[in-house]
Chains A and B, each alone.
Chain A
Amino acid sequence: MEFRDAWSIARKDLRIELRSRVLTNQIAPFTLLIVVLFGFALDADTQTLRDTGPGLFWVAVLLIALLAIQRAVQIEDADAARERTLLTPVSPSSVFLGKSIALFIQLVALEVLLFFVMLALFNLSVGNPLLICLSALVATIGVATSGTLYGVITAGVGVRETLLPILLLPVLAPIAIGATRAFGDAFDRVDADGWAWLGLLAVFAVVYTVLGMFAYGQLVEDT
């Protein structure tokens, strides 16, 4: 298991994304749509939007993540790409890391877009930029690793689109709570210890990275 292998897998996934442009042409506009929908639903009242901003941000991220994960699984459906990757000398743990890294980079790109759009439209002010960056990065590691793991669990299943959300979203509950709290603290919206929440997010990220590296090989063998 080498990081170099993982990186080449990640590059493969990212290159497919760059060429197919699903991320920029479909998922990114969807991101904007979610923000607009929140605006409609919460009645253009900027005070409410400011207060619920951190939570809305992470709800949006989870919805986008579902799409991105489906997409990451889908690109390997054709030509039995998943099984063929096993024929290369790359270890399954490296494949898992590589796919997680690719998903992570895509999600971070979308989060940056989402963040600035929300900042402008919801009129948010950032109190603690470092906490924002760190908690977003760590939470996204957790989303990317658990997403990659559950993506492959639902791979090759006819009802994947509907099965993935009910399997993954409850698992992501700690992320939804933790990242929202950390953001709330960083936006000076709630009285919470954002750094403690960052610790919880880090535990989640580590647990799912380790679990994924062990389980991925087992799961891919039989899809």
Chain B
Amino acid sequence: MKIKFMAIKETQNNTTSSRITRFLGSCLVLGVPALILFAFVFSPKDDTMEDAVRLLYIHVPVAIFSYIAFGITAIGSIFYLWKRSRWWDTTAHASAEIGVMFCALTLITGSIWGRPTWNTWWEWGDVRLVTTLVMFLMFIGYLALRQVPASPEVRAKRAAIVGIIGTINIPIVNRSVEWWENSTLHQQSSLTDGNLEDLTLFTWFLGTLIIGIAYLWLLIHRFRVGWLATEYEAQGYGVAIEERQAEARAHNTETSGHLEEGEVE
């Protein structure tokens, strides 16, 4: 199940970059200006929303990928509890952090878009708004739990359970909010009704692609940072061992090799 490019460090230059992240990064360097160009210049303005529609080319992709990111966190949590592998735990954590950022952006850009379009910054009656806000708060709690000092296994297990419960809770929250006000200002998907112009459609897909690449790029880097952080933490716990090792190395290389195997993980 492990994805190869995330599993192997290909470089020795003391960064979290590798060939794949450099490739994704280059795509972003070219893609983001292209997206801005398409969103602001090439794509036509909407009949009803006028130019405010241009905000949606970032709002919707970011919203989609915040949901995907939390989904990955849930999958990572389930796999952690099943396989007890640090790989999945680190993936879940990395994805949750990016998901929270994307979720915040979704709320902010949505709010900015809502002001000229719906004439309000916030609408309590809207199902998606309130569900997204509750989800955002839930995963803020998840990240807070991960910051608490504890042994890696305990922390991972607790976080995994919170991650899974949080995801199970999303449909319940959604249902309750829907019954609560039973309304949404969000329009039904405009993609399916076939009324979109080609350039608008293309800009949607470009935005989704770019944000998807950004998510992947961030996920890989954040995963590696998380992995290194755990290694560093383990190093901290094993400082005494390291010192003994250094002493031993000075005298006898065989002994040090032996000690390394028993190093604290």
Contacts and interface: CB of A to CB of B under 8 A. Distances in A.
Contacts of B148: 157-159, 163
B45 interface: no
A170 B141 contact: yes
Among B145, B166, B172, B180, max chain A CB count under 10 A is at: B172
Contacts of B142: 167
Interface in A150-193: 153-154, 156-159, 163, 166-167, 169-171, 173-174, 177-178, 181
Contact of A204 (B81, B149, B157, B172): B172
B162 A153 contact: yes
Interface string A202-214: 0110010001000
Given A170-B137, A219-B161, A200 B172 contact: yes
Contacts of B176: 173-174, 177-178, 200
A109 B151 CA distance: 38
A173 B171 CA distance: 12
Nearest to A215: B161
Contact of B179 (A149, A167, A200): A200
Contact of A197 (B81, B162, B179): B179
A218 interface: yes
B212 to A, nearest CB: 27
A213 B149 CA distance: 26
B154 A177 contact: no
B144 interface: yes
A171 B158 contact: no
B30 interface: no
A93 to B, nearest CB: 15
B139 to A, nearest CB: 9
A196 interface: yes
Contact of B141 (A166, A219, A223): A166
Given A200-B175, A204-B172, A207-B172, A166 B158 contact: no
B172 A211 contact: no
Interface in A71-123: none
Interface in B136-171: 137-138, 140-142, 144-145, 148-151, 153-154, 157-158, 161-162, 165-166, 168-169
A153 B153 contact: no
B64 interface: no
A153 B173 contact: no
Q: How large is the interface on A (under 10, 10 to 19, 20 to 34, 35 or more residues)?
A: 20 to 34
A199 B72 CA distance: 30
B179 to A, nearest CB: 7
Contacts of B161: 153, 215, 218-219
B60 interface: no
Contacts of B138: 170-171
A157 B140 CA distance: 17
A171 B150 contact: no
A222 interface: yes
Nearest to A157: B148
Contacts of B81: 218
Interface of A: 149, 153-154, 156-159, 163, 166-167, 169-171, 173-174, 177-178, 181, 196-197, 200, 203-204, 207, 211, 215, 218-219, 222-223
7 contacts: A153-B158, A166-B140, A171-B169, A174-B169, A177-B177, A211-B168, A222-B157
Q: Which 8 A-B pairs have the closest CB atoms?
A: A167-B141, A174-B176, A170-B137, A170-B138, A166-B141, A222-B154, A177-B176, A173-B134
